[in-house]
Amino acid sequence: MKNPILYQGKLKKNNYFEGWYFKVVNNTGDRVFAVIPGLSKDKKDPHCFIQINDNVGYTNYYRFDIGSIKFLEGKQLNISINNNFFSEEKIILDLPNLRADLNFLNIVKYKGFWPNIMGPFSFIPFMQCYHGVSVLNSTIRGYVELNGIVTDYLDGKGYIEKDWGTGFPSSWVWLQGNSFKETDVSIMMSLAHIPWLGSYFPGFLGFFNVGGKTHYFSTYNFSRVNKIIVDGRLVIELKKRGYLLRIKALQSSVGVLKAPTKGSMNRPIKESINSVIEVELYWKNERLYSGKTMGGGLEVVGDIEGIFSKITRR
């Protein structure tokens, strides 16, 4: 629990999934590559996998026997699936039509008060889904070779997070970006319909890292959602004490990925990884930051606007 990037499902037997999300963007922001290694402990179909989403239109779900995934014990992430390797510092891919060697440098890691970004909710058992952020920002050195075409990711940007549990919520928004003009700026925000004791509550969590400071906005630290609009462009306003974070995101082309339901990877969802995300941060009436990122990740699933309508202020 103190290091959620490590494998959490050692004692889980079925109806369980765990996946790590790695995303890299080249230094011009026009080539984006996401890779998701993980495992599904579905009773009828246990297996491990590597999912790929590329902003030029390539998606794939590489499937392996469940015994192919290996975790090296220790305090650092170390996953191998056959000849493919994943850590917080490196990705090596050796797949049909796809090879990669990517190194994460100048890493900015999560350093919050709580052991992970879920805060006190990380201690609550039997939640549907848990979320962890490992690398808020990094530079990249390496390449991806897809169908014989090599893309150089030298001086690009990298990001790492993960999810684990039984499945994803019925509705959610997730966005992430770190290819801003300023090299130290990064953002991730997630709002979701969270089932709880036969009912649900609208919950959210995320961060905005700028100027060497990480601002956390979440349900548990008494932040609130002032506004959320899903109408072509996504608009979100979050407030915490005197801070106001305003986000506008425009979804571009999408790839279809597989998401978990009761541990089974059988739910198709659409994810864009070349969206434009605009961010403004205010302290009271003073604007502290304004900028935008290319190559942003964006998922909008279900009626998220309706779920949050009762608690937002228009």
Per residue in 252-283, pLDDT tens?
Answer: 889 999 999 999 999 999 999 999 999 999 99
State what percent of residues in the chain have pLDDT above 70.
98
Whole-number Å distance between alpha carbons of 279 and 265: 33
pTM for this model (two decimals): 0.95
What mean pLDDT do residues 134-162 have? 96
pLDDT score, position 314: 42
CA–CA distances in Å: residue 207 to residues 14, 260, 300, 313: 32, 25, 18, 21
- Residues 97 and 196 sit within 8 Å (Cβ to Cβ): no
The amino acid present at 311, given as its one-letter code, is: I
Rounded to 5 degrees, φ, ψ at 221 are -105, 25
Is the pLDDT reported for residue 25 higher than 70? yes
What mean pLDDT do residues 3-16 have? 93
Contacts 24+ apart (CB under 8 A), 201-206: 202/307, 202/308, 202/310, 202/311, 203/121, 204/238, 205/117, 205/118, 205/119, 205/131, 206/117, 206/238
Helix-then-strand count for the chain, H and E? 1, 22
Per residue in 300-313, pLDDT tens?
Answer: 999 888 888 766 65
Residue 103 or residue 123, greater confidence:
103
Closest CA to 179 of 88, 58, 279, 252: 279
Closest CA to 256 of 268, 264, 274: 268
Per residue in 183-200, pLDDT tens?
Answer: 999 999 999 998 877 788
Q: Any idea what the Cα angle at residue 180 is, between residues 174 and 183, rounded to 5°?
A: 120
pLDDT score, position 1: 66
Q: Which of 13-17, 71-75, 134-138 has the lowest mean pLDDT?
A: 71-75
Is the pLDDT reported for residue 91 higher than 60? yes
Per residue in 223-244, pLDDT tens?
Answer: 999 999 998 899 999 999 999 9
What mean pLDDT do residues 78-89 have? 97
Whole-number Å distance between alpha carbons of 95 and 272: 23
pLDDT score, position 264: 97
